[in-house]
């Protein structure tokens, strides 16, 4: 994991990578190579943002959630690279450009607050616990829960930033969003069950 004191600003890195992507897109493995040592965290940041961007007619939430589940599961078992099945897939330029353009202003606002602190929370052993949280958020994003994508998408993005910058405070903030996302999902499911029971009673 990189140190915030020596890494280039994230917004600049994302913008620079976008300029290197050919118009016909790029295989995910090649994109990860361009993202460098933080590729897995930057990929999660992009996937979390993908859950927030409106995409009429495109099941972007389902796709982002599925990819987050795959990455979370691999992190849970200690892998920090993309699986071959994902790495071979070509990432199209236009959606990637739109996503980065939407994400960069938010990253510029947040990254100045990130710095290494409470490093025990980002130790190698702790990463697997965060991976479980990321996996659960991916499941929530993939499920068709009304207004269910924003909270877990934000949670995944914050956790990715916290792990990238070894910022335990950011990780705790991400955990709070995970709890809120889970509570919302459970509440919606229980409310749906109540309404269904009332309708068919």
Instruction: Answer for the pair 177, 158: CB distance below 8 angstroms, yes or no.
Output: yes
Q: What pLDDT, on the 0 to 100 scale, is given for residue 196?
A: 81
DSSP element (H, E) containing 9: none
Domain ranges across the chain? 10-199
- pLDDT for res 97: 82
At residue 125, does pLDDT exceed 50? yes
Determine the pLDDT at residue 81.
77
Q: Residue 4 — pLDDT band, cuts 50, 70, 90?
A: very low
Tell me the average pLDDT across 116-129.
91
Between 198 and 158, name the one with better pLDDT: 158
Report for 7-16, 19-28, 72-81, 90-99: range of highest mean pLDDT: 72-81
Backbone angles phi, psi at 14, to 5 degrees: -65, -45
| Sole residue written with tokens 């958020």 | 137
Whole-model pTM: value is 0.86
CA 160 to chain centre: 6
- Classify the C-alpha dihedral 66-70-73-75 as positive or negative: negative
pLDDT at site 126: 92
**pLDDT: is 18 or 73 the higher one?**
73
What is the rounded average pLDDT of the residues 18-29? 80
The H or E element that residue 90 is part of is: strand 90-91
What does the pLDDT read at residue 184?
A: 95
User: What is the model's pLDDT at position 8?
Assistant: 58
Mean per-residue pLDDT over the chain, rounded: 84
Pick from 95-104, 133-142, 158-167, 182-191: least confident:
95-104
Residues with Cβ within 8 Å of residue 167, at least 6 apart in sequence = 4, 114, 115, 116, 117, 118, 122, 161
> Which has the closest alpha carbon to 117: 161, 171, 167, 165?
167
At 49-65, the pLDDT tens digits run 888 876 655 667 788 89
Q: Would you state the pLDDT for residue 57?
A: 54
Which residues neighbour 68 within 8 Å (Cβ) at sequence distance 6 or greater?
44, 47, 48, 51, 134, 135, 137, 138, 141, 156
| pLDDT of 20 over the 80 cut | no
- Residue 19: both structure tokens together: 């300029």
């Amino acid at each position: 994991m990189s140190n915030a004191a020596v890494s280039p600003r994230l917004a600049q890195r994302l913008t620079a990578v976008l300029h290197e992507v050919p118009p016909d897109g790029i295989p995910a493995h090649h994109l990860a190579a361009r993202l460098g040592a933080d590729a897995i965290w930057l990929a999660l940041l992009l996937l979390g943002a993908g859950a927030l961007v409106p995409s009429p007619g495109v099941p972007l939430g389902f796709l982002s959630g599925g990819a987050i589940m795959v990455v979370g599961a691999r992190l849970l078992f200690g892998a920090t690279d993309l699986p071959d099945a994902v790495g071979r897939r070509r990432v199209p330029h236009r959606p990637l450009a739109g996503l980065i353009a939407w994400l960069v202003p938010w990253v510029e606002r947040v990254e100045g607050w990130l710095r290494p602190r409470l490093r025990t929370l980002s130790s190698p052993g702790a990463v697997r616990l965060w991976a479980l949280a990321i996996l659960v958020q991916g499941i929530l994003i993939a499920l068709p829960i009304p207004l269910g994508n924003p909270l877990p998408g934000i949670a995944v993005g914050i956790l990715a930033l916290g792990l990238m910058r070894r910022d335990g405070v950011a990780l705790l903030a991400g955990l709070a969003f995970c709890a809120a996302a889970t509570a919302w999902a459970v509440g919606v499911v229980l409310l749906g069950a109540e309404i269904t029971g009332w309708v068919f009673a």
